[in-house]
Amino acid sequence: MILDKDLAAVEQACDLVEEAHRAQAELARFGQEKIDRICEAMVRAALREAARLGAMAVEETGYGVPADKEEKNRFAAEDVWNRFRELRTVGVISESRDGVEIASPRGVVAGIIPSTNPTSTAIFKALICIKSRNALVLSPHHAAVRCTNETVRVLREAAVEEGLPPDALACMTKTTREGAQALMKHAHTAVILATGGIGLVRAAYSSGKPAFGVGPGNVPVFIERTADAEKAVRNILAGKCFDNGTICASEQSVVVDAPLERAVREQFRARGGHFLSTQEAGRLSRVIATRGGRLNPAVVGKPAALIALMAGIRVPPGTRCLIAEVGGVGRRFPLSMEKLSPILAFYVEDGTEHAVARCLEVLSYGGMGHTAGIHTRSRRAAVAFGEQMPVSRVIVNTSTTHGAIGLSTALSPSLTLGCGSRGNNVISDNVSPLHLMDIKRAAFETQPIEGAAPHLIAVARELRVAA
């Protein structure tokens, strides 16, 4: 049944796309210098308001930590811009004796925004879209409408002062599934950037439009026997606890090589990791999973102490992360799924072969194509592990949270992480402005066709005889 609010959302989506389409035609004529001035103004505005917008996101959604949201906002603006500041996105972007590459914008981009990272994802998508001369219309999560719209307002005001057509950057205020689908399916929508729940990502792929989606990140991390246990645990907790685990690349399961088990346990305990008893792990399992076996949204982005209280578990002061030894992987073991909170599943395996098998099990339960991590002193072990992982990112000796998004690694800085064919995504890259341009190639003759023709004729004759 179509309700009035659905009709209102559909109407708003259509209006915003029509307006963005007209604005993008003007934006497409801008030179590189003007585009970069607009982007720099957006970056300055995002940095100025990073703390306020981060606090708004936590207040509205109940997810995460204000200081960490601020850091995400800073990363989405400053780090992304620093990487792509010099990228040419207008006119001829590459030239050689044999050919010339010419950039064209896609048009209107439909952006789906998650509740877990609403302000930082909005900043990121706005920046990469305008840098590549595309207009953007965002559909925020219904739990993050206010903070996402405020983020867009801040960016748009700064950008308009530098000449951006106001309708080139817009955000829906009426949010329903029907409205989001109307946005994605509109005739003037050129491409979709879908970051959010699996339902909306699937809707993006079935919209008939080109779509860059993401997938769930049930990330396993292997602590191999040569690893520095202290550094490994420090990095894992830094990633798992950052913004209370709301980044999809955060660590979900730790697989420890048996010789390091004791040292790893000691390091976790020394740094705020609390190991649960079998009974406590059972109580936690009943809290984090719904009757249908899905993640309970009430635990997403909440601190460890609050989740423990919800489960009736007493934890010491200073507990940062709940750690549960899990007997297997799958629906019978709820703690083996992606938890989006400071909770880790803990496995001990003797040797790389068994550890790899366990990591593959974890990935098969909701993380295919996304990310895996390894801590090791052996480069050969890291490469061998990576060869066996069906993921798009193998993060070595750093937090998977920060490594996968390109904060602590040389990967392209991004808040939209493709999962490749393993994750039913069209790309395995970290999405960037490069994915939002069509590249025309003017290819000059390198071999005279007259010289090639006799050979081609002979080949054709041979094929006819063989047939």
Tens place of pLDDT per residue across the chain (467 aa): 556 899 999 999 999 999 999 999 999 999 999 999 999 999 999 999 999 999 999 999 999 999 999 999 999 999 999 999 999 999 999 999 999 999 999 999 999 999 999 999 999 999 999 999 999 999 999 999 999 999 999 999 999 999 999 999 999 999 999 999 999 999 999 999 988 777 777 777 778 888 898 888 999 999 999 999 999 999 999 999 999 999 999 999 999 999 999 999 999 999 999 999 999 999 999 999 988 889 999 999 999 999 999 999 999 999 999 999 999 999 999 999 999 999 999 999 999 999 999 999 999 999 999 999 999 999 999 999 999 999 999 999 999 999 999 999 999 999 999 999 898 888 999 999 999 999 999 999 898 887 555 565 566 566 665 65
Cα 203 to its chain centre, rounded Å, is 17
221, 363 contact by CB (below 8 A): no
- What is the per-residue pLDDT for 424? 84
How are strands ordered across the β-sheet holding 211-212? 169-171, 135-139, 108-112, 189-194, 211-212
User: Superfamily for 4-213+428-441?
Assistant: Aldehyde Dehydrogenase; Chain A, domain 1 (3.40.605.10)
Enumerate the β-bridge partners of residue 251.
219
Helix axes 66-74, 118-131, angle to 10 degrees: 10
- Domains of the chain, residue spans: 4-213+428-441, 219-415
Catalytic center residues? 248
**pLDDT tens-digit map of 375-384:** 999 999 999 9
Tokens standing for residue 187: 């005739």
- What is the per-residue pLDDT for 226? 98
Q: Which residues contact 441 (CB under 8 A, 6 or more apart)?
A: 99, 100, 101, 102
- What is the per-residue pLDDT for 400? 98
295, 337 contact by CB (below 8 A): yes
**C-alpha to C-alpha distance for 453 and 113, rounded to whole angstroms:** 54
Dihedral pair phi/psi, residue 429, rounded to 5°? -85, 165
The domain made up of 219-415 is a member of CATH 3.40.309.10: yes
Dihedral pair phi/psi, residue 440, rounded to 5°? -90, 140
Enumerate the β-bridge partners of residue 193.
111, 212
Secondary structure, 3-state, the chain:
CCCHHHHHHHHHHHHHHHHHHHHHHHHCCCCHHHHHHHHHHHHHHHHHCHHHHHHHHHHHHCCCCHHHHHHHHHHHHHHHHHHHCCCCCCEEEEECCCEEEEEEECCEEEEECCCCCHHHHHHHHHHHHHHCCCEEEEECCCCCHHHHHHHHHHHHHHHHHCCCCHHHEEECCCCCHHHHHHHHHCCCEEEEEECCCHHHHHHHHCCCCCEECCCCCCEEEEECCCCCHHHHHHHHHHHHHHHHHCCCCCEEEEEEEHHHHHHHHHHHHHCCEEECCHHHHHHHHHHHECCCCCECHHHCCCCHHHHHHHCCCCCCCCCCEEEEECCCCECCEHHHCCCCCCEEEEEEECCHHHHHHHHHHHHHCCCCEEEEEEECCCHHHHHHHHHHCCEEEEEECCCHHHHHCCCCCCCCCCCCECCCHHHCCCCCCECCHHHHEEEEEEECCCCCHHHHHHHHHHHHHHHHHHC
Tokens standing for residue 33: 């210098």
Dihedral pair phi/psi, residue 400, rounded to 5°? -65, -30
